[in-house]
Chain A
C-alpha cells in the first residue's frame, strides 16, 4: 500500500518537472515577446510541482486508505481492464484498413465475449452485428458523417 500512496504524488512531481523542462525547450516566438508561449505552461508546471509536494506531505502525515485498490487487483478485474485496452488498441489499428462496419463488429463481438462470457455466444454475435449495423446506418447514412 505504501507504494500506491506515494506513487501518485511522485508521479505528479515527475509530470510537472517534465513539462517544465519541455517548456524551456519550446521554440521562441518570432514576433512579439519571444518568451510569450512559455510563461503560462511554466507557471502552471511550477504550481503543479508545489501542489504535488503538498500532496506528498499530506499522504505522509495522514493514513489515507483506498479500499478500491484491492479490488483492482483481484478476480477478473485486471484481466478485463487489460483486455479492454488491448482490444481498443487493436481496434484503432485496424479501423481505417478494415473499415467501420467490419472492425466495429469484430471489436464489439470480442468485447462481448470477454465481458459477457463465451456461453452466450449467439446473443453476443447478434448484438454485435445488429448494433454495429445500426450505428453505421445512423452515423454514416442519416447523419452523413464520413466513416471509413
Chain B
C-alpha cells in the first residue's frame, strides 16, 4: 500500500494542469459548445461539426468541448448557457422561439446574444408511392372538403417547423387547420417507417429525411419549401410554383450568453465567417443535406426578430395558441 503517494502526486499534477484560467485576450480559456440535446440529433451533429472544423482547420486555437444538456426541448441547455460567459456558445433553432410562444419556456431569443445562423434544411410534403394524390393541390382540396380525411405524420412535436410549414400552406388553401389530424412521432425516421408501411396518408418532414426514399421510388415528394428547386429533386415543385407564397427554412444557428462584449462578438463573427468558407464545413453540409444559410451576428438578430413575428402568427393559425 505504498501507492498512495503516487496517487497524490498524479492528483496534484492534474489539478495544476487544469487551472490555467488566466486573463489576456479573448478567448482566454477552453471553449464550450452546448448541444441542448442528447448525442445523435441535429443539434448535437451541428455542435460536433463545428468542433471538428474549428479544431481540424486550426481556426480556434483553444481546446473545444461539446457539452450535451438535453431536456425540455432545449430549455435545459439554454438555461445553462444563460449562466456562462462568452467562451460558451449554444446551438439553437426555431424551437427557441416557439417554445416560448407556446408557453413551454420563459427563455426566448431576446435572452441571448445572437452569433450566427449556420445552415438550413427545407421542408417537404411526402405521400406514399401508391397514393392517388399527385400534387399539393389535390392534397389540399381533399383536406378542404374534409380535414379529417387524411392522416398526416409529423415529428417530433406540434408547433415545430415540420408542422407549421404544413399549417402555413394549408391555410392559404383555406383548409380548416385546427381540425387536421396530425400523428406525432418521435423522429423523422419513425414517420418514414409508417409512411412506407402505408399507415398514414401524408407526412411533412425535412427534405433530408425524405430524399433517399424518394430516390428509391418509395415515396412521392409533392412540394419543397425552398425558394428554388433543389438539386437532386429537380422534378419537385416549390410551394411558390404551386401558388403558395411561402419560403420556409428549417434553420440552425448558434448564440451566446446575454451581455457579451463587442470584442467577443467580433471574435466569433470573424471565426465563424472563416469556418463556413472551409471545404470541410461545406462537405459536412453536403453530407447532411443541409444548405448554407450563413448570417452573421447583426443579420441573425434581425432574422430572429422576423422569425418571431412569423411564428407568432403561424401558431395562432394552427390553433395551438389563442
Contacts and interface: CB of A to CB of B under 8 A. Distances in A.
- Asked whether the complex places CB atoms of A and B closer than 8 A, the reply is yes
Interface of A: 30-32, 101, 122-123, 125-126, 129-130, 133, 144, 146
Contacts of B10: 133
Interface of B: 1, 3-4, 7-8, 10-11, 14-15, 65-68, 158, 178, 181-182, 318-321
Nearest to B68: A146
A31 B4 contact: no
Contact of A133 (B11, B181, B321): B11
Nearest to B34: A146
Contact of B1 (A30, A101, A123, A129): A123
A126 B68 contact: no
Q: In this complex, which of A123, A125, A126, A133 has the most chain B Cβ atoms within 10 angstroms of its Cβ?
A: A126
A129 B11 contact: yes
A75 B238 CA distance: 76
A91 B106 CA distance: 29
Contact of A30 (B3, B65, B320): B320
Contacts of A126: 1, 3-4, 7
Q: Which of A31, A129, A133, A144 is the most central at the interface, judged by chain B CB atoms within 10 Å of its CB? A: A31
Contact of B158 (A31, A123, A130): A31
A31 B319 contact: yes
A129 B8 CA distance: 8
Nearest to A125: B4
A131 to B, nearest CB: 10
A125 B11 CA distance: 13
Given A129-B8, A133-B11, A146-B67, A31 B178 contact: yes
Contacts of B14: 101, 133
20 contacts: A30-B320, A31-B178, A31-B182, A31-B318, A31-B319, A31-B320, A32-B181, A123-B1, A125-B4, A126-B3, A126-B4, A129-B7, A130-B3, A130-B7, A133-B7, A133-B10, A133-B11, A146-B65, A146-B66, A146-B67
B3 A32 contact: no
A31 B158 CA distance: 9
Q: Which 6 A-B pairs have the closest CB atoms?
A: A146-B67, A126-B4, A129-B7, A130-B7, A30-B320, A31-B319
Name, among B7, B14, B178, the residue most crowded by chain A CB atoms within 10 Å (CB to CB): B7
A101 B11 CA distance: 10
Nearest to B10: A133
Nearest to B183: A32
B181 A129 contact: no
Nearest to A29: B158
